[in-house]
């Protein structure tokens, strides 16, 4: 009798567990449904174009915007003037200072070198910077990538030193020639490392400058040369370069209601030399190629999104992560940019603008992304359900 009761109870428990697991799987499948395997039809692209146009115009967006899903270009359009003084309208090759988004590029370069075995994320900084500036054996390359170490913010010290400012001025006026390069890089390195470090959230300007130095040492070529050859050239980013007085850029200051030339900003001029942290100049067409390559794992064979998902902190490679969403934004003088990647859906929304102020893209990009993304998913998933 006891054996019979045990068998009955076992059967009931197994049945209940099976039902529970089946129900759980159904919910999970529904919850995790994404558009990775979906090919967006031309009719859906047309609807997405109309909806995105409406959303951007309602927010009075000026600049260039692009949307990609998987390897598919869903949307690309420009609004307004790149330079109203010269009656020059935006297009997908209009140039922007991408500022902080440079860190996404630098992060990719580091991961590519790790993949090729030329460096390890577990390497400590003394391997690349030596012992001249103190004991750096407690800081790893990944500490810099994940912003888990603070070397302080050196830029104000340089700004307040007339002799150092003069040296940097000569460097920039010479259009970043090698004549001043060694002196300037040594100067910045001294300022970054002279105060020591703390294991806490740090200045990404300092951390990504150091990563640039590490890329140079590990690759055997300069940071600029490595990035150009292995990222810009390979992806066909023909209009991407680093900040220079040759860059003829303009933007509109919404707070003061005035157009400004890009080179009027002393911050941009004096800190354009921190290439790996701050100094890229690019366009919508090129940056769309870059982010699409990251999403699809076609840049140096690195699974960029997986690395970010498994990162030791929610800040990695210049991105901030929140669940399935990773974002990065920048404001440089009169230029700003915002990129939002949905890891689950392989969806990239990129917006670049030459309007700065309280309602610029750095501040409102997240809100605008939510509107656009909900419209995209609404259109695509509605058609999937119908089919």
Q: Taking a C-beta distance cutoff of 8 angstroms, is the pair 326, 319 a contact?
A: yes
Give the distance, in angstroms, between the CA of residue 230 and the centroid of all CA atoms in the same chain: 17
pTM of the model: 0.82
Is 26 inside any structural domain?
Answer: no
Residue 150 near residue 197 (C-beta atoms within 8 A): yes
232-265 residue pLDDT tens? 999 999 999 887 656 666 666 666 666 565 553 4
**CA-to-CA distance for 353 and 329, rounded, in angstroms?**
11
For residue 51, tell me if it sits in a domain. yes
CA gap 371, 51 in Å, rounded:
10
The structure tokens 């068998």 sit at: 7
345-387: per-residue pLDDT in tens? 889 999 998 877 767 788 788 888 999 988 888 887 665 445 4
DSSP 8-state secondary structure symbol assigned to residue 229? I
- With the C-alpha atoms ordered 232, 233, 234, 236, is the resulting torsion angle positive or negative? positive
Residue pLDDT, tens place only, 175-207? 555 565 666 677 777 777 777 788 888 778 888
Q: Does some domain include residue 348?
A: yes
CA atoms in the 13 A half-sphere facing the CB of 10: 6
340, β-bridge pairs? 327, 349
Instruction: Please give the residue range of the domain that contains residue 142.
Output: 42-386
3-class secondary-structure state, position 338:
strand
Beta strands 319-322 and 250-253 are: unpaired
Which has the higher per-residue pLDDT, 117 or 345? 117
The CATH number for 99's domain is 3.40.710.10
Cα angle 9-15-16, degrees, rounded to a multiple of 5: 90
| 113 neighbors 276 (Cβ within 8 angstroms) | no
With residue 221 as reference, give the H or E element that holds it. none
Residue pointed to by tokens 């366009």: 283
Q: Is residue 17 part of a domain?
A: no
Q: Please report which confidence band the pLDDT of residue 273 belongs to, taking 50, 70 and 90 as the band edges.
A: very low
| pLDDT tens per residue, range 131-150 | 777 788 999 999 999 999 88
Tell me if 279 is assigned to some domain. Answer: yes
For residue 110, give the H/E element and its range: helix 102-115
Within the chain, what is the greatest distance between any pair of CA atoms? 96
Residue 12 has pLDDT above 60, yes or no: no
Residue 4 resides in a domain: no
- pLDDT over 90 at 226, yes or no: yes
Distance between CA atoms of residues 23 and 17, nearest Å: 10
Measured between alpha carbons, how far is 278 from 198 in angstroms, rounded to an integer?
A: 22
Domain presence at residue 2: no
Region 280-289: mean pLDDT is 94
Q: Is residue 322 one of the residues assigned to a domain? A: yes
Q: Which two tokens stand for residue 13?
A: 């428990």
As for how many domains the chain has, the answer is 1
Q: What distance in Å separates the CA atoms of residue 209 and residue 274, rounded to the nearest whole number? A: 6
According to the model, what pLDDT value does residue 337 have? 92
């Amino acid at each position: 009798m006891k054996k019979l009761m045990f068998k009955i109870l076992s059967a009931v428990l197994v049945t209940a567990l099976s039902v529970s697991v089946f129900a759980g799987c159904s919910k999970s499948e529904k919850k995790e449904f994404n558009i990775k395997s979906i090919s967006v039809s031309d009719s859906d692209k047309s609807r997405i174009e109309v909806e995105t146009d409406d959303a951007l115009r309602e927010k009075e967006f000026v600049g260039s915007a692009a949307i990609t899903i998987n390897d598919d270009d869903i949307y690309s359009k420009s609004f307004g003037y790149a330079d109203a003084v010269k009656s020059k309208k935006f297009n997908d090759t209009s140039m922007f200072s991408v500022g902080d988004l440079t860190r996404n590029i630098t992060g990719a370069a580091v991961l590519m070198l790790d993949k090729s075995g030329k460096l390890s994320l577990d390497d400590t900084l003394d391997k690349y910077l030596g012992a001249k500036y103190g004991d750096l054996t407690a800081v790893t390359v990944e500490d810099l990538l994940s912003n888990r170490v603070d070397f302080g913010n050196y830029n104000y010290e340089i700004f307040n030193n007339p002799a150092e400012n003069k040296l940097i001025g000569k460097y920039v006026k010479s259009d970043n020639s090698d004549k001043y390069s060694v002196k300037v890089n040594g100067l910045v390195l001294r300022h970054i490392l002279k105060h020591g470090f703390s294991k806490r959230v740090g200045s990404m300007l300092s951390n990504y400058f150091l990563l640039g130095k590490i890329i140079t040492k590990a690759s055997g070529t300069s940071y600029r040369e490595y990035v150009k050859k292995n990222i810009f050239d390979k992806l066909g980013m023909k209009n991407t370069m680093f900040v220079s007085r040759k860059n003829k850029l303009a933007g509109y200051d919404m707070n003061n209601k005035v157009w400004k030339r890009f080179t009027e900003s002393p911050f941009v001029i004096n800190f354009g030399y921190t290439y790996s942290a701050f100094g890229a100049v690019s366009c919508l067409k090129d940056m769309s190629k870059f982010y699409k390559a990251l999403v699809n794992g076609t840049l140096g064979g690195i699974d960029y999104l997986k690395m970010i998902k498994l990162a030791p902190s929610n800040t990695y490679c210049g991105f901030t992560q929140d669940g399935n969403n990773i974002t990065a934004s920048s404001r440089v003088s009169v230029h700003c940019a915002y990129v939002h990647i949905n890891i689950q859906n392989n969806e990239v929304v990129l917006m670049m603008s030459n309007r700065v102020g309280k309602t610029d893209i750095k501040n409102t990009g997240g809100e605008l992304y939510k509107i656009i993304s909900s419209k995209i998913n609404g259109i695509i998933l509605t058609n999937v359900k119908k089919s």
